[in-house]
């Protein structure tokens, strides 16, 4: 099956968000990746609930919302209500496995898919208790916070561990420094969903860039 390509609008033109989302849609994007940052969990502030709500009105594509925030359990419901279709939070943002499991259950109680993500320094073993209940694991291949950073190949090794220990239908997503070359490294290890921001939105030809990730 082809990879799920999820362009990150962090690298789009925020003054022309509708245009840039529609062009990704026209040229074969599968999801739209929305990076939510709070200035606490990561040293950057980006998009919040009202923007997600507005984007929902202008695209038919599923919204793949990546929460890089503290207290994801407090903010999950507003993002679900705003129209998130896939809601991913960070393992590091909660205190214990019990809170994590409760949040997964809460996200999945509607028709939203639940994703859990780990930062570069977090070992993939910590996700073992959750691999049968999440819909997606997001392996960060850069330190979360900014677009346009260099792919960390040592993080890609984690993909295989997750793949070998998870049910067949688990979606394995990578995010950070993904281009046509780094995508191949990740898919060969088992990733099947690719987030790309600068590679898609800073390219001269969005159509070719998306096609090269499929
Ligand atoms: C980084 C974000 C990414 C970012 C990726 O913290 O989670 O989604 O937009 O940007 P590129 O593809 O440029 O590395
Ligand atoms: Zn992201």
Domains and CATH numbers, the chain: 4-212 (3.20.20.70)
Please report the pLDDT score of residue 145 as a whole number.
Answer: 98
Kindly report, residue by residue over 2-19, the tens digit of the pLDDT: 999 999 999 999 999 999
The residue annotated as part of the active site, out of 35, 38, 64, 135, is 35
Q: Would you say residue 192 has pLDDT above 90?
A: yes
Please report the pLDDT score of residue 187 as a whole number.
Answer: 98
Does the Cβ of 83 fall within 6 Å of ligand 1? no
Please report the pLDDT score of residue 45 as a whole number.
Answer: 98
Tell me if the pTM is above 0.85. Answer: yes
Q: Which atom of ligand 1 is nearest to the CA of 149?
A: 14
Please report the pLDDT score of residue 118 as a whole number.
Answer: 98
Annotated catalytic residue 175: yes
Strands 136-140 and 113-118, sheet pairing: parallel
Q: For residues 57 and 53, what is the distance between their CA atoms, to the nearest angstrom?
A: 7
Residues 109/80, Cβ–Cβ less than 8 Å: no
Q: For residues 168 and 41, what is the distance between their CA atoms, to the nearest angstrom?
A: 31
Share of the chain above pLDDT 70, in %: 100
What separation in angstroms does the CA of 18 have from each of 9, 193, 199, 210? 10, 23, 19, 18
Phi and psi dihedrals of 201, rounded to 5? Answer: -80, -20
Angle, in degrees to the nearest 10, between helices 72-82 and 49-58: 30
Q: Which residues of 90-114 are buried (b: 16+ CB within 10 A; e: fewer)?
A: bbebbeeeeebeebbebbeeeebbb
Kindly report, residue by residue over 101-148, the tens digit of the pLDDT: 999 999 999 999 999 999 999 999 999 999 999 999 999 999 999 999
Annotated catalytic residue 38: no
Contacts for 99 with CB less than 8 Å, ≥ 6 apart: 73
Does the Cβ of 144 fall within 6 Å of ligand 1? yes
Q: For residues 99 and 207, what is the distance between their CA atoms, to the nearest angstrom?
A: 41
| Nearest Cα residue to 55 out of 7, 107, 115, 121 | 7
Residue 8 alpha carbon to ligand 1 centre in Å:
6
Q: Which residues of 204-213 are buried (b: 16+ CB within 10 A; e: fewer)?
A: eebeebbebb
Looking at every residue in the chain, the average pLDDT score rounds to 98
Does the Cβ of 145 fall within 6 Å of ligand 1? yes
């Amino acid at each position: 099956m082809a990879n799920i390509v999820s362009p990150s609008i962090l690298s789009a033109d925020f003054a022309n968000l509708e245009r840039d989302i529609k062009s990704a849609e026209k040229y074969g994007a599968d999801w739209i990746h929305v990076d939510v940052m709070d200035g606490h969990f990561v040293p950057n502030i980006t998009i919040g609930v009202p923007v997600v709500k507005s984007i929902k009105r202008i695209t038919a594509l599923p919204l793949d919302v990546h929460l890089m925030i503290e207290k994801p359990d407090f903010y999950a419901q507003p993002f679900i209500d705003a129209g998130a279709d896939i809601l991913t939070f960070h393992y590091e943002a909660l205190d214990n496995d019990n809170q994590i499991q409760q949040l997964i259950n809460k996200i999945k109680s509607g028709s939203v898919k639940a994703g859990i993500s780990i930062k570069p320094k977090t070992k993939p073993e910590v996700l073992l208790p959750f691999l049968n209940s999440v819909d997606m694991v997001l392996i960060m291949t850069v330190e979360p916070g900014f677009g346009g950073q260099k792919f960390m190949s040592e993080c890609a090794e984690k993909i295989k561990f997750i793949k070998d220990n998870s049910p067949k239908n688990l979606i394995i997503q990578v995010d950070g420094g993904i281009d046509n070359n780094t995508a191949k490294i990740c898919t060969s290890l088992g990733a099947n969903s690719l987030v790309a921001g600068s590679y898609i939105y800073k390219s001269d030809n969005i159509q070719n860039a998306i096609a090269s990730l499929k």
